[in-house]
Structure 1
Amino acid sequence: MANDPLLQPFQLKHLTLKNRLMITSHEPAYTEDGLPKDRYRAYHLARAKGGVALTMTAGSAVVSPDSPPAFGNILAYRDDCVPWMRRLADDCHAEGCAVMIQLTHLGRRTRWDRGDWLPALSPSHAREPAHRHYPKQLEDWDIARIITDYADAAERMQSAGLDGIELESYGHLMDAFWSPDLNTLQGPHGPQSYDSRLQFTFDVLEAIRARVGPEFIVGIRYAADEVRPGGITATDGIEITKRLKASGQIDFLNIIRGHIHTDAALTTVIPVQDQPSAPHLDFAGEIRAQAQIPTFHAAKIQDVATARHAVATGKLDMVGMTRAHLADPDIVAKIEAGEEDRIRPCVGANYCLDRIYMGGAALCIHNPATGRELEQPHHIDPAQTPLKITIVGAGPAGLEAARVCTTRGHAVTLHEAAPHPGGQIRLTARSPRRAEMMQVIDWRMAECERLGVTFHFNSYVEPEDITTAPPDVALIATGGLAAEDYLPENNDLAVTPWDILSGDAAPGRRVLVYDEAGDYAALQAAEHLAEAGAEVEIVTRDRAFAPEVMGMTLTPAMQALQRLGVATTVMWRLDALARSGNALTATLGSDYGGAATREVDQVVISNGTRPLDDLYFALKPLSRNLGEVDYTALREGRPQTLAPNPSGPFRLFRLGDAVASRNTHAAIYDALRLCKAL
């Protein structure tokens, strides 16, 4: 461990960072009234305790009221954020972790109808597609005021005891001044030269330095190449980097490559499943080599081996593993303990960021304690009384239940009817673009095997298998089956996405995929069909396409579907299906009154799942709790003590899709919060 490049300290000005792993600035949207209160602090503190050297708060704490929060941003223009930031910094410092914050004016990357309903600002009226807002073009008094706002915010962060700040300059206001096609100002801040394009940046830096002094750490995260026509080029990026260094005002660079004006563009900056790992690492290394300034970077660096390579080869000084730390806050601790193989992997599902951009808070698809540190444990406490627990089903819910229960010290036996674990995830992972999802299962299997869970595969459980030698607790995690009951009649003329993905149904030539669920199943089936040569149309009654998939994760799927010529039709529903000779006639209706038909030879209906719950209902009248869950106790993290049938020999609960059709995160969260108190 002493020779591990990742565990070597790094000297950043006066600040000694204890290792080379950091969490880059990001906004998990845990703020309350724009302030980083206890939930926000607990999230960063968990990662500080896990050993990370530097945690950067705020994916863009806003410096001005006319930069209204777009996704739960910290309001750095308010004095009352200081005591909350001070508490966060003090707690992380006590764990040996440095703390910084990213400051910005969002510019056009927000909307006018949020916050105080002030117009968003930009050096031009150009609309940002992601937020669909036409900004006001900056006036001279706007520029002067915002420069002061930056300085005020920096001073607040210094007074809160933070180790430094980072200015955000990609997709926001500052870099819009740099961009040849977004800056149409006249005068000293216009686009006519590098001097004028960078004038605002250097005015901000000078104002900040006048407040915080030369020793306070100030860095910048910026797009050194926007990779778009009319935008900031790599040549521009090199010149801007040289000028930033020559100014003497910048202590570190945090390199971005790409632009974020659309969902598709954003996924090139922050890649998701089915996209390359560490795609911009070499580019960041080139900037570091030319600039000779401490250089940070993050972009789908999911694994320790890649991070180690980045430092060992001199590409980076500090490696950002931000989404990886959402999945596992203890990455450094596990490296130090020689347990890299136990790191819970980031699977690239991007549930975290997609939720933020849809107005929710960041959650990891397979670590339900992330963002819930005040209620849910990253580290499971042992139980006072060991129990005998039987689990049925080795999907994500069943395996998480087995992991948590065994960690608690209970004796766990798990039965799975299939020859392999995985449940619906195994089917999902048959699509190459979603193969990473199997890591959700693989990691839990490895943990369960290490902990001593007893597995029985090819084991179909009958009620008497439970009642003959009853356990203390029976957990039913049998999942669900694809629903086949959408239409009032003739459902037998349709197939499900599961039939297509499993190969149980051969692809047709002209196929209508009707998506009632709005999740990934219809997309995967449509892609599989189109790759087999089918002419495919996806129809949905929703006014937004695939709303449960969300923007960034939808990007690679849409790229594939459009490449394959799949048609997408929104705001129509499938009302009826009938045979017409060798073809099928699909009758479409609309919530808005329309009517249409399609002549096809195959119809696929995606309508979620129905619980596979026969075993649960057979056992329910025999159980002590009659299957009842005390939701108040569940929410408060207390044990389940209901016993309406006190003579029942076991307690009975069901988890995940055995309850209702939901998603992977919900299934795993079910298991954690129930089993942590058993």
Structure 2
Amino acid sequence: MNSKYPNLLSPGTIGSLEIRNKTVMCAMGMSQSDQGFVNQAVINHYAERAKGGIGLIMVEVTCVDAPVGLNTSRMLVIDDDKYIPGMAKLADAIHEHGAKCLLQISHTGRGSRRAVTGHQPVAPSAVAMPYSFMMGLSNEEPRALTIEEIHEIEDKYAQAAVRAKKAGFDGIELHSVGYYMGQQFLSSTANIRTDEYGGNPENRVRFHLNIIRKIKELCGKDFTVAVKLSAVEQGEDAGITMQDGMYYAKRFQEEGVDALEVLAGTWKKEASMEDIPDSGSPKGQAIGLCMALKMGIQQMTGKPAAIKMIGGGRAQDPAVAEAALASGQCDFIFIGKGVLVQPDLVNLIEQDREEEIRPCLGCGVCIDVQLQDGACARCSGNAVLGNGDNDYTIPPAQKPKKVIVVGGGVAGVEAARIAAVRGHQVSLYEKADKIGGQIFYAAAPPHKENMAPLIPYLEHQLEVKHVDVHLNEEITPEKILELKPDAVVCATGVLPSTLPIPGFSRTINAKEVLDGKETGEQIVIIGGGSVGCETAEYLAEKGKKVTVIEMLDTMAEKMVNVARTILMGHLKGLGVTLLTSCKCLEITDSSVACQDKEGTVHTIPADTVVAAVGDKADNALYRALEGKVPELYNIGDSAKPDSIAASVSQGYYCGLGL
């Protein structure tokens, strides 16, 4: 065991459960089921994390009352005995690799959408779910539940727990965060009832306490029960105060709940300067809430809190986790996206191989593709997640090949990494003096600190996988043919695009700006995609007067919704002028002329004009080698400029197919 982290890696207990270490994989909806049933993709997903060393797995949010309680069309379901056999296979797969597992059970309440369920949502009160930029969703007004219906739903939760026990799960977790029904009963803004289920914190917690009592009665006191709790909420529609959260924690402890997984909630329609995207959020951001609840329980009872507190929030850094445990702020650490991107994260920590842990970028793709696109979860750093059956097998090559990879960005490094793991002899050529490619520009704008660790990760992977790396070498087609490779992978990236605008040659590229090139004080950025808008924030934070011109009617249209909303809030706060549906006509030494959708021409003063009009694929090497080498591949941006997720996926599966 790694002696640097004795608290994190030592066993612990939650209720009657003995857990091999203090790590908890928190429940994260993946939308990968087969009409609610566990399938091979679900089993492989969780088995891989159990194999990777996690102590306790909270299996993702599972519906107790379909269809009305569904979140997505591919949400797991546990409202009928027909789901038990699949759940049993899942629990067995997790236990086989030494982890314990709880099933997170829930009803989506007012958050369920008619487009998915075919029904009007139901909730404690007829209060519509407000728009929250953190989810990018709002919803229609729900129908308020009757007392009798509430009792029926309480019974459905309890019966779901019985099924989880029959399937072999070690316990359940009640979901009371975000836009799910548990949170809705606890919130004074979502729950405006005046009967026994509303009006004060004591009544608002009744729904939970009734469920917990029924579960204990049906499943036994040794069956572990946890609650995922919003300890406090902020924003216009916040309905849980810190005092409420402390009171709820105390009541849960009194009722025999074994653990609380502690988070905070946000109900803000618009982002402001204080909101930070996950790409820049701090480590261990929710851990302090555990300490607040512990203190609250002690103040109310006169005794130290007995209920176990599970804290986290970007806590995959073992030093952060160890410090939180050693200081007593929390008792266990939940890790979410960190084990989505790196399933064997805990094993790597135990083996003192932290440099091999792929960082979570905080990009938000995993959530966005589900809530905005209705797809299953994907990951920018893990090509396997959400792909088919989630098969992590990397078979050795039947015949080792001599492979040349050209390009040291994420696509090229991923292809080289996987090819080397399979036993191929891999050489990588990069014309720059460093590995990383476009990541240097992606990590340069404000609040992108969590992207920067990807670069040393890529460098280290090439080292530990024994890839022969050649920097500062722009390899030619002739040199490649001389080396007689069995396969060539072109990952040569992009070239800047140009526009047929008079004076366009006077512009500087946004990437030059992000790389430190000096600018004037009045800046016009042509192109309001993600690069243009992030460059605008970068410059506005330096005190520059910035205007962004975009032809479409939406700025940063392709960005993940939450990150886009926060970025727009920052640009508004920084006073950046955003001109949509606007066409650039001419660039002069001192101004930019543009035309709006009404046809009016505007002249904007500018001493620097920045081009952020996208990139084009640099596929010249690929074209020069076509038909001249035994195997030839073109991946990443040199095939089609796209996202980090696309580049990683293409690199991984290219390496797997060599």
- Which TM-score applies when normalising by structure 1? 0.88
TM-superposed CA distance for 1:376, in Å, is: 4.9
Instruction: Tell me which amino acid in the other structure corresponds to 1:498.
Output: K
Aligned to 1:614: 620
CA distance in 2, matches of 1:293, 1:263: 36
Aligned to 1:277: 283
Partner SS, residue 433 of structure 1: coil
Within 5 Å, give how 1:510-549 maps onto structure 2: 510-515=523-528, 518=529, 520-542=530-552, 544-549=554-559
Cα distance change of structure 1 residues 376 and 2 upon mapping to structure 2, 3 Å threshold: closer
Instruction: Tell me which amino acid in the other structure corresponds to 1:136.
Output: R
Alignment check: 8 A CA contact 1:327 1:367 kept: yes
Deviates more, 1:135-144 or 1:40-49: 135-144
Fraction of identical pairs, as percent: 28
Q: Cα deviation per residue 1:389-437 (whole Å; 9 max; x = unaligned)? A: 2221111111112212222222222211111111111122222422432
Alignment check: 8 A CA contact 1:253 1:294 kept: yes
Q: Cα deviation per residue 1:85-108 (whole Å; 9 max; x = unaligned)? A: 111111111111111111122222
Aligned to 1:412: 426
Aligned to 1:506: 519
Alignment check: 8 A CA contact 2:260 2:308 kept: yes
Aligned to 2:301: none
Alignment match of 1:88 (pick from 83, 87, 90): 90
Aligned to 2:239: 231
CA distance in 2, matches of 1:352, 1:263: 22
The higher-RCO structure (CA 8 Å, 6+ apart) is: 2
Alignment check: 8 A CA contact 1:264 1:552 kept: no
Alignment check: 8 A CA contact 1:366 1:668 kept: yes
Aligned to 1:108: 110
Cα distance change of structure 1 residues 286 and 186 upon mapping to structure 2, 3 Å threshold: closer
TM-superposed CA distance for 1:439, in Å, is: 2.4
CA distance in 2, matches of 1:330, 1:610: 36
Alignment check: 8 A CA contact 2:63 2:69 kept: no
CA distance in 2, matches of 1:122, 1:539: 46
Aligned to 1:628: none
1:365 aligns with 2:380: yes
1:394 aligns with 2:408: yes
1:297 aligns with 2:311: yes
CA distance in 1, matches of 2:635, 2:387: 19
Cα distance change of structure 1 residues 188 and 375 upon mapping to structure 2, 3 Å threshold: closer
Instruction: Tell me which amino acid in the other structure corresponds to 2:287.
Output: L
CA distance in 1, matches of 2:419, 2:129: 52
Q: Cα deviation per residue 1:219-254 (whole Å; 9 max; x = unaligned)? A: 111112223465211112112222222223x12111
Alignment check: 8 A CA contact 2:64 2:156 kept: no
Instruction: Tell me which amino acid in the other structure corresponds to 2:645.
Output: H
Aligned to 1:638: none
Aligned to 1:626: none
Aligned to 1:492: 505
Partner SS, residue 234 of structure 2: coil
TM-superposed CA distance for 1:262, in Å, is: 5.4
Within 5 Å, give how 1:104-503 maps onto structure 2: 104-129=106-131, 130-171=137-178, 172-191=180-199, 193-228=200-235, 231-248=239-256, 250-259=257-266, 272-288=278-294, 290=298, 291-358=305-372, 359-372=374-387, 374=389, 376-377=391-392, 380-485=394-499, 487=500, 491-492=504-505, 494-503=507-516
Instruction: Tell me which amino acid in the other structure corresponds to 1:530.
Output: A
Gaps of 5+ in 1: 624-649
Aligned to 1:675: 655
Instruction: Tell me which amino acid in the other structure corresponds to 2:152.
Output: R
Gaps of 5+ in 2: 132-136, 299-304
Alignment match of 1:63 (pick from 55, 65, 68): 65
Aligned to 2:639: 659
Aligned to 1:595: 599
Aligned to 2:13: 11
Alignment check: 8 A CA contact 1:167 1:220 kept: yes
TM-superposed CA distance for 1:658, in Å, is: 0.7
1:567 aligns with 2:573: no
Instruction: Tell me which amino acid in the other structure corresponds to 1:511.
Output: V
Alignment check: 8 A CA contact 1:66 1:119 kept: yes
Q: Cα deviation per residue 1:630-654 (whole Å; 9 max; x = unaligned)? A: xxxxxxxxxxxxxxxxxxxx42211
Alignment check: 8 A CA contact 2:548 2:579 kept: yes
Q: Cα deviation per residue 1:355-389 (whole Å; 9 max; x = unaligned)? A: 22223322221121233373653x63332322222
Instruction: Tell me which amino acid in the other structure corresponds to 2:248.
Output: I
CA distance in 2, matches of 1:481, 1:128: 43
Alignment check: 8 A CA contact 1:48 1:92 kept: yes
Instruction: Tell me which amino acid in the other structure corresponds to 1:309.
Output: A
Partner SS, residue 389 of structure 2: coil
Partner SS, residue 622 of structure 1: coil
Partner SS, residue 413 of structure 1: strand
Instruction: Tell me which amino acid in the other structure corresponds to 1:255.
Output: V
Partner SS, residue 553 of structure 1: helix
RMSD of aligned alpha carbons: 2.6
Partner SS, residue 134 of structure 1: coil
Cα distance change of structure 1 residues 263 and 81 upon mapping to structure 2, 3 Å threshold: farther
TM-superposed CA distance for 1:338, in Å, is: 2.8
Q: Cα deviation per residue 1:318-363 (whole Å; 9 max; x = unaligned)? A: 2111111011111222233232332222232232223222233222
Instruction: Tell me which amino acid in the other structure corresponds to 2:157.
Output: Y
Partner SS, residue 57 of structure 1: strand
Deviates more, 1:358-367 or 1:87-96: 358-367
Aligned to 1:577: 585
Aligned length: 637
Within 5 Å, give how 1:551-562 maps onto structure 2: 551-562=561-572
TM-superposed CA distance for 1:541, in Å, is: 4.9
Q: Cα deviation per residue 1:415-471 (whole Å; 9 max; x = unaligned)? A: 111111111111222224224323223212112112322222111222211122321
CA distance in 1, matches of 2:619, 2:425: 24
Cα distance change of structure 1 residues 169 and 542 upon mapping to structure 2, 3 Å threshold: farther
Partner SS, residue 8 of structure 2: helix
CA distance in 2, matches of 1:110, 1:598: 46
CA distance in 2, matches of 1:75, 1:136: 22
Deviates more, 1:666-675 or 1:496-505: 496-505
TM-superposed CA distance for 1:169, in Å, is: 1.4
Alignment check: 8 A CA contact 1:61 1:101 kept: no
Alignment check: 8 A CA contact 1:223 1:256 kept: yes
TM-superposed CA distance for 1:475, in Å, is: 1.4
Aligned to 1:627: none
CA distance in 2, matches of 1:2, 1:207: 42
CA distance in 2, matches of 1:263, 1:84: 41
CA distance in 2, matches of 1:321, 1:194: 30
Partner SS, residue 426 of structure 2: strand
Alignment check: 8 A CA contact 2:2 2:351 kept: no
Alignment check: 8 A CA contact 2:413 2:458 kept: yes
